[in-house]
Amino acid sequence: MGSYDSSLVSLLIEVAKRCHEAQVIRGAEGDGLTFDENDLAADPDIEVTAWPDTINQVTLTFRNRDKQRQEDSVAWHDRAAFAIQGATKTESIQRPWITRQDPAWQVAAAWCQQRALPRITGRISLKAASAGSLAPGDTFSLSSASNSLSGLLCRVEEVSRRSPESVEVDVRFLEDRGYLNGVAYSPAADDPVEPETYSPQQIAGARLFETPYGFQPEEHTHFQLLVARGDTVTGRVHSWNEVAPDSYEFYRSTRTFCLMATLNGALSKSGPAVDEDGGLLLTITSPDKTPYDATFAEAMAGRSVLFLGTEVFLVWGPTLVSGNQYAFSYVRAAYACEKEDHADGATGFLIFPSASRPYLTCEWGRVALPGESLKWKFQAELLGVTTDLAGAGVYEITSTARAYLPLAPINLTVNGDGHCPTYAGGESVVVDWDMASPLRNLHPVEEDCPSTFADATKLQILDVATETVQWEATFPTTGNATISNATILAALGSESDFIIRAWNQRAGLNSINATQIKVTKV
């Protein structure tokens, strides 16, 4: 029989009995077999591990479902065992099938409590009549006065007979620590397993941008459908055109998405046309946040474009300033459009088209008259699932016929002279002009396009020597504008010869050519 500390065994038995009385072990009190000296063929052989063989900390590694099943760990400490041992003695266990933290804590606690106490093991020889059908895994209570054992709860590890005729049965056992596996509360039920679903989001925003003649040099009106998707995974967007009140017809789909951005700081039309030092600050507001890092050459080729107001910018070299704010270098008034004023906070659309990601362009089908409008809806699609078209926002565009550049003014006269006009000192000048033919026929059979597409006439004063613009202003297309002598002095610095140049305009765009005449000071 092995040696052991009988007082330690008594302590362990008392702990087990108290837990047994609390019915935290399996079965009600009194269940199972009970063996004492009357059932034993010999004294039990008992072994007890020492305190140095115990541990006081268990670290359990598991797969945490709340962290996409990444590897996670919990640790349980037994303070009583630490107080006895005076140092941390740890053990690590792997339980990859555990996916929630609560069960991980419970297993770690039970394991640490098991390993924090010395373990009682041993062998006994039982009379065959008492052993009955005892099998590995069964539990029994063992009492032995010679070993100071009283009601020690044991679990069978092995049952053997020396021979089939033997009247004794050898049993190897260990102390049953099932009472340490007790759970003070029932763990919460697992969340129902639901397959992950993906659904597209409504678009973040859209813009219908009527392009100038330089963008799409054709006589028909075109506009770009600029769409910012509502998430970063939407695969494509379908466009629908209203053909009757609240009735929409499918037009085309696109995989080319824009970035929505707000302007940080106002831009004046009198500002520089080119800035190579990152003077354009934009904050990206759409779910797609990263602009294409275009070079100057790519921007000039139309690979990085900003649509802001009715103006087109070519932008390149985005530099992250803070958050989602970027600084861009730029060229303004691209594609023959005019510079305009832009307020702080104005919304623009950045697009980075390519051969595989072209513009979503719509052709009006003819020369659209000013004031005509179209309504559109956009439907996002992801993995074959589309958003509800009825819930999509309506985006409307009203044509200004900006792609149809008006003819230049004709019959330009200054002070009634259309050949060699003059003016005297202190004299103002009266400029007059006529419009071109009332019709500009593009499709003789189908339609006529009135020259009244011009909505303003721009007059400029140019220096004779350099032909640089010194002054300009817009007037109604009806003609007969007076330029005061004070204006001439302010523009030229003195009363001298100058050039009057006249443009017709439509939606802020100049006519393809201009009419001009020299005015001589006499």
For 300-321, the pLDDT digits (tens) are: 998 999 999 989 999 999 999 9
pLDDT in the model for residue 410:
86
pLDDT in the model for residue 440:
47
pLDDT in the model for residue 520:
93
Nearest of 265, 208, 285 to residue 241 by alpha carbon: 208
pLDDT in the model for residue 365:
60
Mean pLDDT of 390-397: 90
- Report phi then psi at 67, rounded to 5: -125, 40
Nearest of 519, 522, 503 to residue 511 by alpha carbon: 503
Strands 481-483 and 429-434: antiparallel
pLDDT in the model for residue 378:
94
Facing residues of 73 across strands?
Answer: 61
Q: Burial, 277: exposed, middle or buried (Cβ in 10 Å; 0-12, 13-18, 19+)?
A: exposed
How far, in Å, CA of 141 to CA of 80, rounded?
27
Mean pLDDT of 327-334: 92
How far, in Å, CA of 228 to CA of 207, rounded?
9
pLDDT in the model for residue 2:
47
Residue 336: pLDDT above 80? no
Residue 448: pLDDT above 50? no
The full DSSP string for 124-186 is: EEEEHHHHTT--TT-EEEEEEGGGTEEEEEEEEEEEEESSTT-SEEEEEEEE--GGGG--SSP
pLDDT in the model for residue 182:
64
pLDDT in the model for residue 429:
94
Residue 30: pLDDT above 50? no
How far, in Å, CA of 362 to CA of 460, rounded?
35
Look at residue 317 and give its three-state secondary structure. Answer: strand
For 257-307, the pLDDT digits (tens) are: 999 999 999 999 888 889 999 999 999 999 999 999 999 999 999 899 999
Greatest mean pLDDT range, 31-35, 196-200, 253-257: 253-257
What confidence tier does 61 reach under pLDDT thresholds 50, 70, 90?
Answer: very high
